[in-house]
């Protein structure tokens, strides 16, 4: 009975997918994609406000979108600068940063108050839409990063040599 052909494992085989390396620092790429999505959302809503409402509505839409983008960008920048040197400490800084941002956002609203030109409906719609599109872009970008699970550069604990195993199998089948 003929044996089937061995599977194609050679590097020159056209159907093989090459190994991919881990993403070196994913945070700036995630920031770029998220900022693009959030910025596009803010511009679309500002254009809608320009066509449907007052100049104050345009500024309100831009301000709502801009504030959301700045506050979310802070976290990703912290991930970029801290994540490379201290990955386990980055999570703690994310939590601390979140608390500071929430308190800071509340303080800004409390100290400066609401400007007379601000149209709260356009501000709210723009901020909420930007949060949603930012989060979608961030999750999609994050899901596409590569994380190295095993240290391939570490030496093996035991040498890998399949030849002795095959010799033992042949000795049992022949004897």
pLDDT tens-digit readout, 23-38: 567 778 888 899 999 9
> Which pLDDT does position 37 carry in this prediction?
92
Binned at pLDDT 50, 70 and 90, residue 94 comes out as: confident
The Cα 11–Cα 15 span in angstroms is: 10
> Which pLDDT does position 40 carry in this prediction?
93
Tokens of 164: 């002795």
Distant-in-sequence, close-in-space partners of 94: CB < 8 Å, separation ≥ 6: 75, 78, 79
> Which pLDDT does position 41 carry in this prediction?
93
> Which pLDDT does position 11 carry in this prediction?
54
Q: For residue 30, give the H/E element and its range.
A: helix 27-52
SS3 content of the chain, % helix, strand, coil (to 5): 65, 0, 35
- Dihedral sign from CA coordinates of 161, 166, 169, 170: negative
Tokens of 36: 């693009």
168 has pLDDT over 60: no
Provide the mean pLDDT of the chain.
Answer: 76
> Which pLDDT does position 130 carry in this prediction?
92
> Which pLDDT does position 22 carry in this prediction?
52
Binned at pLDDT 50, 70 and 90, residue 151 comes out as: low
- Pick 169 or 100 by higher pLDDT: 100
20 has pLDDT over 60: no
């Amino acid at each position: 009975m003929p044996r089937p052909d061995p599977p194609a494992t050679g590097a020159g085989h056209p159907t093989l997918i090459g190994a991919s390396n881990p993403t070196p620092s994913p945070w700036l790429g995630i920031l770029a994609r998220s900022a693009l999505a959030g910025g596009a959302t803010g511009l679309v809503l500002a254009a809608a406000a320009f066509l449907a409402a007052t100049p104050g509505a345009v500024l309100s839409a831009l301000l709502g979108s801009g504030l959301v983008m700045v506050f979310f960008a802070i976290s990703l920048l912290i991930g970029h600068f801290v994540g490379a040197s201290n990955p386990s400490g980055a999570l703690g800084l994310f939590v601390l940063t979140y608390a500071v941002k929430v308190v800071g956002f509340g303080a800004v609203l409390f100290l400066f108050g609401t400007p007379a030109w601000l149209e709260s409906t356009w501000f709210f719609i723009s901020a909420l839409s930007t949060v949603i599109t930012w989060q979608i872009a961030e999750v999609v970008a994050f899901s596409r990063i590569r994380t190295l699970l095993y240290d391939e550069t570490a030496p093996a604990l035991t040498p890998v040599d399949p030849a002795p195993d095959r010799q033992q199998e042949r000795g049992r089948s022949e004897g």
